[in-house]
Amino acid sequence: MNIGEEQVKASLERAIDTWGGSLSWEKLKVTLGRFNLASVNKIVAFALSSISEFSDEKDYDNRSAFQHALVVALQGLLSNLSHEHRQPKCYAQDPAYTEHDTNALQTLGITVLPDPEGFLEVDDETLVISVSPNVPVKQVVSDIARPAFIIWNTIAGDGLGVEPSTDPDSPRLQKWIAEHYETLEFPREPDLFGNVSMYVRRTLAGGGPVEQAAT
């Protein structure tokens, strides 16, 4: 069921208020506060889906609104953490976005980009968010940069087992994560975010890349 632009905005506003007052967000802020994220100046989100394709009759129906609410909350948090309280740029890429979505997100400071322009914005000072994409976001991102912080589907297995994935966890990706990132638990919200984890680059966590033993 598609909803209109005013309903999209209202759905987003409710999700922002609800997420901002949630225990999960409080836990997430505590976790993020452990790391030096002052240099993160950009957020790029992939595959958060169209808000307008959901009914707004029940809050849990619109997981897309809550995923975008997380982006807005992170934007505010990173602004507070930056040396000059500068608001980070925010970009979102998903071919499912409608004109209503684009306009509503623009009012929140989130610029919608066409594929592949979102990938071109990713660099080492970026926070990346991706939730259950139907393209190999992990593979592309790991080829072009080492983002400061990542929130995406938990890396486990090779993506070719019982549950095939359009965003598979290849051995190369697993090695890349193990060498350059620490894995953190995302507050459990499976109805809103599915099975996601957080990954902070080791240089921001007080450590350097892990040297892999020769085999």
Where residue 193 sits, what CATH number does that domain have? 3.40.50
pLDDT for 194 beyond 70:
yes
Would residue 135 count as lying in a domain?
Answer: yes
Would residue 121 count as lying in a domain?
Answer: yes
Would residue 212 count as lying in a domain?
Answer: no
pTM for this prediction: 0.90
Q: What is the pLDDT of residues 157-188, one digit of tens each?
A: 544 443 567 888 889 999 999 999 999 999 99
Would residue 213 count as lying in a domain?
Answer: no
Would residue 214 count as lying in a domain?
Answer: no
| Block residue for tokens 């991706």 | 130
SS3 annotation, 20-38:
HCCHHHHHHHHHHCCCCCC
Range of the domain at 167: 5-204
- Measured from the Cβ of residue 162, the count of other Cβ atoms closer than 10 Å reads 5
Q: How many structural domains compose the chain?
A: 1
% of the chain residues with pLDDT over 90: 73
